[in-house]
Amino acid sequence: MSYQEEYEKWCTDPFFDEKTKEELEQIKENKKEIQDRFYKELEFGTAGLRGIMGAGTNRMNQYTVGKATQGLANFIKKQKQEQRGVVIGYDSRKNSKYFAEITALVFNANGIKTYLFETIVPVPELSYSIRKLQCIAGIMITASHNPAKYNGYKVYGEDGAQITSPVDLQIMQEVKNLQTYSTIQTISKEEALQKGFYQTIGKEIEDCYIEEIKKQLQNIEEIQKQANLSIVYTPLHGTGNIPVQRILKEIGFQNVHVVPEQEQPDGNFPTVEYPNPEDKNSFTLALKLAKKVEAEIVLATDPDADRLGVYVKEKEDYIGLTGNMSALLILEYLLSQKKEKNILPKNAVVIKSIVSSTMAEPITKKYGVKLLEVLTGFKYIGEKIKEFEQNKEQQFLFGYEESYGCLAGTYARDKDAIAAVALLCEAAAYYKEKGISLWEKMISLYKTYGYYKESIKQITLEGVDGAEKIKNSMQKLRENPPTKIGSYSVKKIRDYQAQTILDVSTNEKKKIELPVSNVLYYELEEDGWLAVRPSGTEPKIKYYMGVKGKSFEDAKEKLAEIEKEVEKYAD
List, as one string, the DSSP characters of 288-335. HHHHHHT-SEEEEE-TTS--EEEEEEETTEEEEEPHHHHHHHHHHHHH
Burial state string for 547-562 with b = 16 or more CB within 10 A and e = fewer than 16: bbbeeeeebeebbebb
Strands (E), 486-550: 488-495, 500-503, 508-511, 520-524, 529-534, 540-549
Contacts of 162 (CB under 8 A, 6+ apart): 47, 48, 154, 155, 156, 377, 378, 379, 382, 413, 414
Q: What per-residue confidence (pLDDT) applies to 425?
A: 98
Delimit the CATH 3.40.120.10 region(s) of the chain.
40-201, 204-449
pTM attached to this predicted model: 0.95
Q: Determine the 3-state secondary structure of 248 from DSSP.
A: helix
Q: What is the pLDDT of residue 270?
A: 97
Beta carbons of 139 and 121 less than 8 angstroms apart:
no
Spell out the per-residue pLDDT of the chain, length 571, in tens: 899 999 999 999 999 999 999 999 999 999 999 999 999 988 765 557 899 999 999 999 999 999 999 999 999 999 999 999 999 999 999 999 999 999 999 999 999 999 999 999 999 999 999 999 999 999 999 999 999 999 999 999 999 999 988 898 898 889 889 988 999 999 999 999 999 999 999 999 999 999 999 999 999 998 999 999 999 999 999 999 999 999 999 999 999 999 999 999 999 999 999 899 999 999 999 999 999 999 999 999 999 999 999 999 999 999 999 999 999 999 999 999 999 999 999 999 999 999 999 999 999 999 999 999 999 999 999 999 999 999 999 999 999 999 999 999 999 999 999 999 999 999 999 999 999 999 999 999 999 999 999 999 999 998 888 989 999 999 999 999 999 999 999 999 999 999 999 999 999 999 999 999 999 999 999 999 999 999 877 789 999 999 999 999 999 999 999 999 998 876 6
Tell me the pairing of strands 256-258 and 231-234. parallel
Positions marked active-site: 144
Query: How would CATH label the architecture of 451-570?
Result: 2-Layer Sandwich (3.30)
Class of domain 204-449: alpha beta
Give the CATH number of domain 40-201; options: 3.60.9.10, 3.60.150.10, 3.40.120.10, 1.20.1260.10: 3.40.120.10
- 80 CB-near residues (< 8 Å, 6+ apart): none
Q: What pLDDT is recorded for position 570?
A: 65
CA 379 remoteness from chain centre: 9
In the 8-state DSSP scheme, what is residue 145?
Answer: T
Domain with CATH 3.30.310.50 in the chain: 451-570
d(Cα 116, Cα 118) in Å, to the nearest integer? Answer: 6
Residue 333 and residue 341 in contact, taking contact as beta carbons nearer than 8 Å: no
* Predicted local distance difference test score (pLDDT) of residue 249: 98
Measured distance CA(86)–CA(110) in Å, rounded = 12
SS3 432: helix
Query: CA torsion, points 323, 299, 449, 491, in degrees to nearest 10?
Result: 10
